[in-house]
Amino acid sequence: MAEHQLKPETWVDLYADYLFNYAIGRISDAEVAKDLVQETFMAGLKSAKNYKGDAAERTWLIAILKRKVIDHYRKINSKKGKAEVRMNYSSQTDAEGDWLEEQVADPFSSFENSDIENKELGLAIQSCISKLPKKQALVFTMKTIQGVSTEDICNELGINPSNLWVMIHRARTALMGCLNQNWF
């Protein structure tokens, strides 16, 4: 039974540098990486009763840290991810124009209530998606349209969360340019 026991008192000395290097390679922000390592140690303490000894202590902690990194990207991207596609786009300022998501969410919006306009927009979006690089289009479709989780997309395509969000950002930027030219 002794091989299944964790030794949290040794974690900082044995694993802190390794976990930090793992985190900094994915986050590129030393302070955030340090915070994630601390959160990993805290989560490890809280879930120590679930440790069955099937993996080495370090492997188990890395698994926790991976989830922390994914949660970090989910958190920051849920804040900024809303509405990068706008109607009536103006390059002078972000304050001008109506956000597409806000229009669609508005029950009194004439835009939302026009079936013909919605079909035209859908066709325009599909046409613009088809012009994206193949992997970018796939990532954008999986995440934004199909709602596949970041972790599942990264595992399936062999990319990390920061690559995923870069591809989504580039896809949104390209789609906005395409829609401005071809639809708005």
**Domain 2-79, CATH number (from 1.10.1740, 1.10.20, 3.40.50, 2.60.40):** 1.10.1740
- Main-chain dihedrals φ then ψ at residue 99, nearest 5 degrees: -70, 135
* Measured distance CA(5)–CA(8) in Å, rounded: 9
Per-residue pLDDT of 5-51, as tens digits, reads 888 999 999 999 989 988 887 787 889 999 999 999 999 999 888 88
Contacts 24+ apart (CB under 8 A), 21-25: 22/62, 22/65, 23/65, 23/68, 23/69
Domain 2-79 matches domain 83-182 at the CATH topology level: no
**How do the domains of the chain map onto residue ranges?**
2-79, 83-182
Predicted confidence (pLDDT) at residue 94 exceeds the cutoff of 80:
no
Domain 83-182 has CATH 3.30.470.30: no
What three-state secondary structure class fits 148? coil
Predicted confidence (pLDDT) at residue 113 exceeds the cutoff of 50:
no
Predicted confidence (pLDDT) at residue 134 exceeds the cutoff of 60:
yes
* Measured distance CA(97)–CA(76) in Å, rounded: 24
**Per-residue tokens: 89:** 């786009």
pTM above 0.85? no
